[in-house]
A and B are shown apart, each in its own frame.
Chain A
Amino acid sequence: NAGVTQTPKFRILKIGQSMTLQCTQDMNHNYMYWYRQDPGMGLKLIYYSVGAGITDKGEVPNGYNVSRSTTEDFPLRLELAAPSQTSVYFCASSYDRGNYGYTFGSGTRLTVV
């Protein structure tokens, strides 16, 4: 059982480039989330989804987009990368609204130069 799988693990982008961070879960969870983690700032919610076809903004959505065409996949897109988006990105999923906690992926470390 793979859980939550994120790719890539590391990436360096130039300012203005775009990329998609991939996230897949095999637990049939309806709820999926994208967080960014910055030193000393904890985790900030970027976007979340309560099921296929449904997405909503979190605390820090600017500069990002998501889609949820299937239950399994929840990609995060950066259209015009900026240095402020240098961070570690975590995808997570949960069976319900989070009452039992989340399962996290291993993270993507992104550097924008």
Chain B
Amino acid sequence: DAEITQSPRHKITETGRQVTLACHQTWNHNNMFWYRQDLGHGLRLIHYSYGVQDTNKGEVSDGYSVSRSNTEDLPLTLESAASSQTSVYFCASSESGDPYEQYFGPGTRLTVT
């Protein structure tokens, strides 16, 4: 069965370190998204991609970057981790066109100390 996976599921890192969160989907979806989920804020979009070599900033992109070198993967990099980036991160994918629902990964809980 097709799926979307994230790794690691839990990560503790120190302030200032670079961290990369992996996202891999086997749906063959063109669209991929990264969100963070925080209490009181719901889901906030960090970055998204509509296909290989395409990346776009979301509403909370500062301090984060992504790259899309193939259809299956969209890694999220925290250039220099900050305590404000402690959160649960979700990757999602969807088909192109209208109006397809998103498929979400299980999430990565990141703690920055």
Pairing of A with B: no
